[in-house]
């Protein structure tokens, strides 16, 4: 002790005592209770070195208010279950107070603690030295004690109560934090890099994922990094049958769509087991059962798993989806960074898109990664004998949306068509979300004189009958969509679409008009296209016939067959080395 504390500079400064003079009653003005013999008495450790006991009894004051940052004990006996006053699943102060009043309970030790799942150590921040041991973590020696598997010791939101503290002090509400200067987003950058890490890498230095004979975890698993949605992990994962398909519509994908419902009905009619998970409530619609995403079991072994308009489930670093066929279905022009993410590249077998233009938006993959399956059409309405018996009017033009560009077209171009063909009629139908109230007020005054008929929002059957009666379909769209059901329905009904030359419109059989959207020259080109169809009836009929022979215009049954072709082909193929293939769940 004299070599450590009684240095020459310290003794000369009068700050410390020399070793031979430490036990004197009074030395250089120091009283008895301030000498080193009293403040630092000699300690003899007869058992395992306990850093916390040593520091609290002999070094730090009795009323300990400062938490120790690190617990250095390599192997310790833990006989208590730690609790906190604000657990994560309680949101009311009354529930938190009730939880905080729960007393500590003793846990069995020795051989009675065998069988505790090794995975609980993954979230145990206080047993880091235990994790570095190179032996199976699901086995416990007789001379070691472990806490219960359901105790709060193994959650990163809990901290043990401090000595002589009036209330629980938690990691979730620290007394002080160290914040660097400047708007640094270090934690966000680290999290993003962790999410984007390849699924082929094991981010676990203890190699616990490779321990044989591990029991399934009975904890909550995060389903999305964008929304706080969790699912219960099954203790005995289910192996789904080969003729089953699961559609997962994550929290960021919205609720189910008409396309998904019709596809699921067609697959079920082919003796396939169909399950749909959506953010909405559990319900039954036309014979299909929709379950909430919280009921999704992340550690089940699926046959065919379709991620409908979302890849959030792939961000679950704890439970990667296990499926023979993992398909990502894109309905819109989704974020390129999300689709080109490393996890999507490693795990997704096929990406379903709506058109060739839709596929061209993601140049991070080769074309073999994609499968083009357009939305199904209600073909039964087009084969109806009553609808097919309707006579087509030569001068009838269909518009299916109220927009301000329609007002410009009427003022700048439709008058030219009307002057050449006085019997021409412009029938305008409303679509959900358009500007009907504003546009109809501007067109009402001149509608009768110009042959403009303003309709409301019609049913699907009414719009199909309108397509059989109209010569062409005028589409004034400023966007570049990846799919257009309205234009494809018109092609199937023989109503020639006149549309921009952008997006998916360049792939649909019809008349494409180039030019700046909304410009007067572009509106005149639309009028020329309409007049050309009115004038050349033979050419219009040939264009109509070739459009109706397009093989991409398929109904619900044919579209379901395309999906089955993709799923069956993937289900029988072998996957490269990945998390799904590593654990050999399907071998």
Q: What is the pLDDT of residues 303-358, one digit of tens each?
A: 999 998 888 777 765 677 888 889 999 988 777 888 888 888 888 999 999 999 99
Give the residue with greater pLDDT, 576 vs 328: 328
pLDDT class of 467 with cuts at 50, 70, 90: very high
Predicted TM-score of the model (pTM) = 0.60
At 119, the pLDDT band (50, 70, 90 cuts) reads: very low
Tell whether the model's pLDDT for residue 142 goes beyond 80: no
Classify residue 471 as exposed, middle or buried by CB count within 10 Å of its CB (0-12, 13-18, 19+): buried
**55-64, 264-273, 302-311, 577-586: segment of lowest average pLDDT:** 577-586
Whether the predicted pLDDT of 429 surpasses 90: yes
Do 333 and 361 form a contact (C-beta atoms < 8 A)?
yes
pLDDT band, very low/low/confident/very high, at 449 (cuts 50, 70, 90): confident
Mean pLDDT of 33-62: 54
> Distance (Å, rounded) from C-alpha 355 to C-alpha 553?
12
Q: What is the mean pLDDT of the chain?
A: 71
**Interval 473-487 mean pLDDT:** 91
Enumerate the β-bridge partners of residue 243. none
* CA-based nearest residue to 365, from 379, 349, 354: 349
- Lowest average pLDDT, out of 73-87, 210-224, 281-295, 541-555, goes to 73-87
> What local confidence, expressed as pLDDT, does residue 568 receive?
87
> What is the mean predicted confidence (pLDDT) over 389-411?
92
**Would the pLDDT of 394 be above 50?**
yes
**Residue 144, burial from CB neighbour count under 10 angstroms (0-12, 13-18, 19+):** middle
Helix runs in 355-414, H state only: 356-360, 379-382, 385-388, 404-409
What is the Cα–Cα distance from 3 to 24, expressed in whole angstroms?
Answer: 19
Give the pLDDT score at 293: 82
Assign 496 a pLDDT band (cuts: 50, 70, 90).
Answer: very high
Is the model's pLDDT at 560 over the cut of 80? Answer: yes
Residue 426, classed as helix, strand or coil, is strand
pLDDT tens-digit map of 245-287: 999 987 655 555 788 888 999 999 999 989 998 888 777 777 7
> Which residues, including other chains, have CB under 8 Å from residue 332's CB and lie 6 or more apart?
309, 482
Indicate the range of 201-210, 429-438, 453-462 predicted with least confidence.
Answer: 201-210
The pLDDT of residue 58 is above 70? no
Contact 358, 328 (CB under 8 A): no
Looking at the predicted structure, is the pLDDT value of residue 585 above 50? no
pLDDT at residue 321, rounded to an integer: 82
Q: Which of 514, 396, 527 is nearest to 466 (CA)?
A: 396
Q: Given this model, what pLDDT does residue 222 score? A: 58
Type and span of the H or E element at 424: none
For residues 260 and 230, the answer to whether their CB atoms sit within 8 Å is no
Residue 221: φ, ψ to 5°: -115, 135
**Phi then psi dihedrals of residue 56, to 5 deg:** -75, -30
Q: Tell me: pLDDT of 120 over 60.
A: no
Per-residue pLDDT, 542: 93
Give Cα separations from 103 to 83, 93, 448, 575 (angstroms). Answer: 8, 18, 82, 51
Indicate the pLDDT class of residue 226, thresholds 50, 70 and 90. Answer: low
Predicted confidence at residue 28, as pLDDT, reads 52
Q: What is the pLDDT of residue 414?
A: 93
Q: What angle do CA 187, 190, 195 make, to 5 degrees?
A: 125
What pLDDT score was predicted for residue 580? 36
Position 231 scores a pLDDT of 73
What pLDDT sits at residue 424? Answer: 93
């Amino acid at each position: 002790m004299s070599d450590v504390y009684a240095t020459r500079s310290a003794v000369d400064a009068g700050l410390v005592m020399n070793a031979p003079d430490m036990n004197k009653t009074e030395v250089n003005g120091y009283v008895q209770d301030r000498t080193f013999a009293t403040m630092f008495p000699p300690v003899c450790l007869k058992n395992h070195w306990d850093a916390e006991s040593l520091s609290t009894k002999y070094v730090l004051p009795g009323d300990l208010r400062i938490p120790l940052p690190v617990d250095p004990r390599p192997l310790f006996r833990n006989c208590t279950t730690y609790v906190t006053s604000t657990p994560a699943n309680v949101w009311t102060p009354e529930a938190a107070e009730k939880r905080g009043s729960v007393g500590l309970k003793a846990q069995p030790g020795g051989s009675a603690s065998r069988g505790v799942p090794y995975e609980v150590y993954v979230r145990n921040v206080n047993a880091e030295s235990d994790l570095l041991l190179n032996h199976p973590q699901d086995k416990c020696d007789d001379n070691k004690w472990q806490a219960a598997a359901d105790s709060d010791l193994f959650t990163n939101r809990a901290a043990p109560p401090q000595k002589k503290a009036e209330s629980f002090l938690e990691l979730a509400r620290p007394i002080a934090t160290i914040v660097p200067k400047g708007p640094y987003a270090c934690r966000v950058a680290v999290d993003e890099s962790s999410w984007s890490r390849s699924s082929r890498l094991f981010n676990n230095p203890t190699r616990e994922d490779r321990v044989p004979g591990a029991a399934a975890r009975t904890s909550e698993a995060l389903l999305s990094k964008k929304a706080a949605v969790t699912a219960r992990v099954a203790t005995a994962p289910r192996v789904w049958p080969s003729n089953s398909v699961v559609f997962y519509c994550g929290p960021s994908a919205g609720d189910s769509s008409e396309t998904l419902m019709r596809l699921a009905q067609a697959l079920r009619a082919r003796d396939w087991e169909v399950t749909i998970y959506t953010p909405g409530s559990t319900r039954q619609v036309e014979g299909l059962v929709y379950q909430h995403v919280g009921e999704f079991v992340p550690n089940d072994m699926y046959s065919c798993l379709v991620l409908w308009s979302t890849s959030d489930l792939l961000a679950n670093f704890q439970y990667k989806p296990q499926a023979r066929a993992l398909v990502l279905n894109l309905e819109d022009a989704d974020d390129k960074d999300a689709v080109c993410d490393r996890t999507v590249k490693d795990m997704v077998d096929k990406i379903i898109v709506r058109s060739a233009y839709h596929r061209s938006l993601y140049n991070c993959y080769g074309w073999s990664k994609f499968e083009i399956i357009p939305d199904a059409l209600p073909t039964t309405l087009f084969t109806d004998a009553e609808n097919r018996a309707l006579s087509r009017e030569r001068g009838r033009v269909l518009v299916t949306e109220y927009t301000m560009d329609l007002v410009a077209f009427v003022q700048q171009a439709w008058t030219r068509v009307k002057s050449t063909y006085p019997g021409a009629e412009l029938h305008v139908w409303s679509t959900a979300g358009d500007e009907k109230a504003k546009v109809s007020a501007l067109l009402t005054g001149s509608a009768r004189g110009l042959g403009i008929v303003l309709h409301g929002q019609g049913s699907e059957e009414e719009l199909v009958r309108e397509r059989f009666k109209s010569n062409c379909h005028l589409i004034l769209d400023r966007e570049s969509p990846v799919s257009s059901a309205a234009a494809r329905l018109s092609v199937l009904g023989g109503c020639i679409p006149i549309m921009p030359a952008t997006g998916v419109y360049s792939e649909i059989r019809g008349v494409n008009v180039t030019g700046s959207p909304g410009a007067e020259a572009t509106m005149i080109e639309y009028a020329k296209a309409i007049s050309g169809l009115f004038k050349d009836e033979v050419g219009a009929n040939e264009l109509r016939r070739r459009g109706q022979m397009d093989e991409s215009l398929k109904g619900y049954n044919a579209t379901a067959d395309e999906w089955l072709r993709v799923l069956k082909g993937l289900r029988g193929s072998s996957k490269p080395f990945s998390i799904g293939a590593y654990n050999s769940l399907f071998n």
